[in-house]
Amino acid sequence: MSSTTTTTTVGTIGAPSRRNTELAMLVFAVLIAVFAYINVGLAKEGSVPAGVLGYALGLGLLAGITHLVVRKWAPYADPLMLPIATLLNGLGLVFIWRLDQEPQITTKQLGGAMAPGQLMWSTLGVALFLGVLIFLKDHRVLQRYTYISMVVALVLLIAPIFFPAKFGARIWITIPGVGSLQPGEFAKIVIAIFFAGYLMVKRDALALASRRFMGLYLPRGRDLGPILVIWALSLMILVFETDLGTSLLFFGLFVIMLYVATERTSWIVFGLLLSAGGAVAVATFESHVQERVQNWLNPLQLINGGVTETAQAMYSFGSGGILGSGLGQGYSRLIGGIAPKSDYILATVGEEAGLAGVMAVLLLYGLLIERGIRTALAARDPFGKLLAIGLSGAFALQVFVVAGGVTGLIPLTGMTMPFLAQGGSSVIANWALVAILLRISDTARRPAPAPAPSTDAEMTQVVRP
Amino acid sequence: MNKPLRRVAIFCGLLVLSLLIRVNWVQFVQADELKNDTHNRRVAIERYSQPRGNIIVDGKAVTGSTTNESGDFKYKRTYKDGPMWAPVTGYASQAFGSNQLEKLNDSILSGTDDKLFFSRTVDMFTGDKQKGGDVVTTLNAKAQKAAYEGLGKSKGAVAAINPETGAILALASTPSYDPSTFAGMSDKDAKAYNGLLKKNNPDDPMLNRALRQTYPPGSTFKVVTAAAALENGLYTDINAKTDSPLPWYLPDTAHQPLNNEGNIPCENASLKEALRWSCNTVFGKISADLGNKKMKAEAEKFGYNDPEVDTPVRAAESVYPTDNRPQNAMAGIGQASNRATPLQMAMVTAAIANGGKLMKPYMVDQLVAPNLNVVQQHTPEAMSQPLKPENAQKLQEMMEGVVKNGTGTNGQIDGVTVGGKTGTAQHGENNKDNPYAWFISYAKTSKGTPVAVAVVIEGSDTLRGDIAGGKLAAPIAKKVMEAVLDGKK
């Protein structure tokens, strides 16, 4: 930890809190989103949209309140994460509202306009964010709930099996009258808490009690147990919930945290072998996965004479080109259904904001991820480090899996772009995730308490009469 | 724990980097390919985002564009007198593609053609939307109307050509269809389109009979046989007696006679008389005497056996077959495997009327840019010389005899020299179906020969005995010729 003392995030006495930087960036974030909103209105209707004042005030108010709460309850927190999350969420709302303007994909059967709902979920997300910051005074409290977290995570992950599949994946819990919930999004956080607590305790055993074989440290059989359990669990998710993304996310998350906890490269090799083996095994008998792989290998292929969603997304990106068609002037609605608002939201960014816009959005995600990892580096306690890397790693994997899937880099999986995509669970969970990261970074950057005044020192002071 | 953390940081950086590389690949390297992919609907949306250029006849557009009430596509094709012009324009449908002139000149009409580069570049600077150019046809609106209305409810086709240039003046086909009815992509359009398909409509209204359907030409083909006799020197004097016994038996058969229609004076009749009476025996024997090779060669000079007669809409290939002697004799009177499109017979007539020189038939005169600059102009070109001028003169005299006091008197026009030939082609096994009634003719004035026309009427409900080309087809040909002549006055 001593090697990081030169970085700005590590608090030294009198380190600037950077709250004013955050405020300036927040203003910027809100302005960009509001301009985007006006832009869509001008492009679609030729006039500034009527709701612009409400949108600007709403977003500004949310940003303002979060900023004030951070200033009060987490004054040394990282200054970039909140503005980035606000910007992404704001842009996400604009894009969803923009797609709501397309009557073909905003029919009653498809659930009508989704921007108002998303705004409500965002507000709830921000409320949860505030709650976490206000009530979670120290992230180490979470360590106490290691095994409860495990149980909760297992329940969250397994629950969707008992609910009907939606859009080809069993990742939803449907509560009549309330709506659908994607528990995977919350499980992501809870399981990171469990891993962090578990690995903090076990890391020495995992790291040291191992045999060297062909240059690799192989763990003992009994230490291997929990890892195999997680592996089996992630495969089960894959098979029973036909959810490639969540499975990959959890296994990847575990491997990353294990590697960080033990500092043993062998875990990565082990993890890669296990996930590759599992993926191949599942792909051979799971038609849903095979279909996705086929789509990925031949994205433009017609299926039953029709253009696939994958192909439509590729056309969106391609038609956007370098600078894009301009907000509100693309045809990403051709993807059809509600997919352009959720899984494929990045295609709309790609078509309407162009390569430039997508790169900017990806860099925002990259920046958010690296700020999270910087927080892990700066954290002073192993639990905080593990939790921060776990949350950032999960976030990074999710961004990669979704953006990679939509752009055709890897087979598509049903997950949502954090903050950007339509989906209540996603936006709420990600606000909570950012809140925990901010809490850890606040603890990390908080100046060490001033040394207690030494009574001896006082005694030796020369008192001049 | 910081070393692995740094490595994870690098790993996450690489993940984002790989995403950045991927979007650069998709949106920069692959962008044009994806943007213009045929299945990318944006291509069609862009295409229908402006009114399409028009197809022009006699200075007036026979097509138009209208805005769509709903859907992706802003503009939809409309047609004025759609059924009348459909054999010329073809259709341009949002859902069902396009054909004929609409398809062949699509790049001009939609404004994407390289020939419009200049006007497109100007548009780019002025910020105007890309516009489509017009296709100016050679058709004659009055002649087309006469042809279409003349055909009326019967099934048939008319093709009229200017013999001197090859310009197509009329191209009618009935029953026809209105391409406006399925220009869009609604369910209504789909229903209209499906109702026109051959499998749902035995009348096959979308078939362009003038260009795309071949018929046995029947007796009208006798002019080609006569041309072959003159060109090959079998006979030189059209008024001299021919060596034509009656009855005459098909070669290589056990005394199977070739019959004439009724009791007509065909024995040793001169060429002129034989054509006037339409003697099967005389022309069957000429074909047999010349042999398959020479008959075929002459027919090919008139445009037979050419699979690429492009007007620019490609006409079906008219066939003069390679066949044995009796079949060749039958082919010489337009039966057996001899098949011709109405356009082909109009070309035969035109070549004779034009002093033996066949001009390449065409129907697009000019392509015009949106700024009215002519980007392409057709110049008439000769296709072949099936007849020497003096033989053409003789044939004209023969055909004029047919109209003057032969089977084609219904084609007469006051004060105008008309040459023609009737035809009644057998149809079906042992002639059990209604025969095809043919009439080919040309009209000559002191100023030249402005029109040659071929008319065919198939499967008419009229009594079999009445189906003689002269009764059914000749009046239509007459009206078409009159329409063209009126325009010349």
Residue-wise DSSP of B425-484: E--SGGG-SPPEEEEEEEEEETTEEEEEEEEEEES-SS-GGG--HHHHTHHHHHHHHHHH
Record: contact A400-B22, CB cut-off 8 A: no
| Choice among A205-219, A268-282, B199-213, B359-373 with the minimum mean pLDDT | A205-219
Residue ranges of the domains in chain B?
A: 213-366+384-488
Residue A435 has pLDDT above 90, yes or no: yes
Average pLDDT, whole number, for chain A? 85
Q: What is the pLDDT of residues B73-96, one digit of tens each?
A: 888 899 999 999 999 999 998 888
Residue A403 has pLDDT above 80, yes or no: yes
Q: What is the pLDDT of residues A135-174, one digit of tens each?
A: 999 999 999 998 898 889 888 888 887 777 666 666 677 7
Maximum pairwise Cα distance, chain A: 100
Query: B71 or A78: which carries more pLDDT confidence?
Result: A78
Q: What is the pLDDT of residues A360-398, one digit of tens each?
A: 999 999 999 999 999 999 998 999 999 999 999 999 999
CA–CA separation, B3 vs A376, rounded Å? 12
- Average pLDDT for B34-46: 87
The Cα of B346 is separated from the nearest Cα of chain A by a number of Å equal to 43
Residue B113 — pLDDT band, cuts 50, 70, 90? confident
Give the side-chain half-sphere CA count within 13 A for A282: 26
Residue A5 has pLDDT above 50, yes or no: no
Record: contact B16-A363, CB cut-off 8 A: yes
The C-alpha torsion from B475 through B480 and B482 to B484, rounded to 10°, is -170
Structure tokens belonging to residue B348: 């035969």
Residue A44 — pLDDT band, cuts 50, 70, 90? confident
Record: contact B18-A260, CB cut-off 8 A: no
CA–CA separation, A201 vs B340, rounded Å? 94
Task: Tell how strand B55-57 and strand B134-137 pair up.
Answer: parallel
Of B1, B13, B32, the CB nearest to A370: B13
| Choice among A89-103, A252-266, B106-120, B132-146 with the minimum mean pLDDT | B106-120
| Choice among A242-246, A265-269, B24-28, B468-472 with the minimum mean pLDDT | A242-246
Record: contact B42-A317, CB cut-off 8 A: no
pLDDT given at position A170: 67
Record: contact A408-B22, CB cut-off 8 A: yes
Give the side-chain half-sphere CA count within 13 A for A238: 27
Residue A4 has pLDDT above 50, yes or no: no
pLDDT given at position A7: 47
DSSP A2: G
Taking CA–CA distances from B46, the nearest residue in chain A reads: A331
The Cα of A230 is separated from the nearest Cα of chain B by a number of Å equal to 20
Structure tokens belonging to residue B360: 């390449």
Structure tokens belonging to residue B333: 């009177």
Query: B21 or A3: which carries more pLDDT confidence?
Result: B21
DSSP B25: I
- Average pLDDT for A99-113: 85
What is the phi-psi region of residue A423: left when phi exceeds 0, alpha when psi lies from -120 to 50, beta otherwise?
left
Task: Decide if B149 contacts B118 (C-beta within 8 A).
Answer: no
Q: Which residues of A touch B29 (CB under 8 A)?
A: none
Q: What is the pLDDT of residues A49-90, one digit of tens each?
A: 888 898 999 899 999 999 999 999 999 999 999 999 999 999
Q: Which residues of B touch A369 (CB under 8 A)?
A: 12, 16
Q: Which residues of A touch B20 (CB under 8 A)?
A: 359, 362-363
Query: A13 or B479: which carries more pLDDT confidence?
Result: B479
pLDDT given at position B427: 72
Q: How many residues does chain A have?
A: 465
* Percentage of residues in chain B having pLDDT higher than 70: 95
Record: contact A407-B23, CB cut-off 8 A: yes
Residue ranges of the domains in chain A?
A: 2-447
CA separation, residue B36 to residues A321, A406, B26, B95, B108 (Å)? 12, 20, 13, 18, 18
Query: A274 or B297: which carries more pLDDT confidence?
Result: B297
Q: Which residues of A touch B7 (CB under 8 A)?
A: 259
Residue A2 — pLDDT band, cuts 50, 70, 90? very low
Q: What is the pLDDT of residues B197-219, one digit of tens each?
A: 988 888 899 999 999 999 999 99
* Percentage of residues in chain A having pLDDT higher than 90: 44
Nearest to B32 by CA among A355, A240, A137: A355
Helix (H) or strand (E) holding A35: helix A19-45
Q: What is the pLDDT of residues B246-304, one digit of tens each?
A: 889 998 887 888 888 888 889 999 999 999 999 999 999 999 999 999 999 999 999 99
CA separation, residue B281 to residues B260, B270, B469 (Å)? 7, 12, 19
- Average pLDDT for A206-230: 70
Residue B423 has pLDDT above 70, yes or no: yes
CA–CA separation, B390 vs A360, rounded Å? 82
Record: contact A260-B5, CB cut-off 8 A: yes
What is the phi-psi region of residue A11: left when phi exceeds 0, alpha when psi lies from -120 to 50, beta otherwise?
beta
Task: Decide if B68 contacts B77 (C-beta within 8 A).
Answer: no
pLDDT given at position A3: 44
pLDDT given at position A107: 83
Helix (H) or strand (E) holding A36: helix A19-45
Q: Which residues of A touch B16 (CB under 8 A)?
A: 362-363, 365-366, 369, 396, 399-400
Question: Cα-flanking dihedrals φ and ψ of residue B422, to 5°?
Answer: -90, 165
* Alpha carbon B322 to its chain's center: 24
* Stated pTM of the model: 0.73
Residue A215 — pLDDT band, cuts 50, 70, 90? low
Taking CA–CA distances from A1, the nearest residue in chain B reads: B2
Q: Is B340 helix (H, G, I), strand (E, B) or coil?
A: strand
- Average pLDDT for B380-406: 94
CA separation, residue B369 to residues B98, B119, B366, B459 (Å)? 21, 7, 10, 44
Which of B219, B270, B287, B318 is catalytic? The answer is: B219
CATH says B213-366+384-488 is which class? alpha beta
Residue A12 has pLDDT above 50, yes or no: no
Contact B10/A at CB under 8 A: no
- Other beta carbons within 10 angstroms of residue A455's beta carbon come to 7
Q: Which amino acid is at A176?
A: P
Q: What is the pLDDT of residues A293-327, one digit of tens each?
A: 888 888 888 888 788 888 999 999 999 999 999 99
B107 is catalytic: no
Contact B19/A at CB under 8 A: yes
Q: Is A125 helix (H, G, I), strand (E, B) or coil?
A: helix
CA–CA separation, B297 vs B283, rounded Å? 16
Record: contact A302-B28, CB cut-off 8 A: no
Q: Is A180 helix (H, G, I), strand (E, B) or coil?
A: strand
Residue B139 has pLDDT above 60, yes or no: yes
Query: B115 or A398: which carries more pLDDT confidence?
Result: A398
Q: What is the pLDDT of residues B448-481, one digit of tens each?
A: 899 999 999 986 555 555 556 788 899 999 999 9
* Percentage of residues in chain A having pLDDT higher than 70: 86
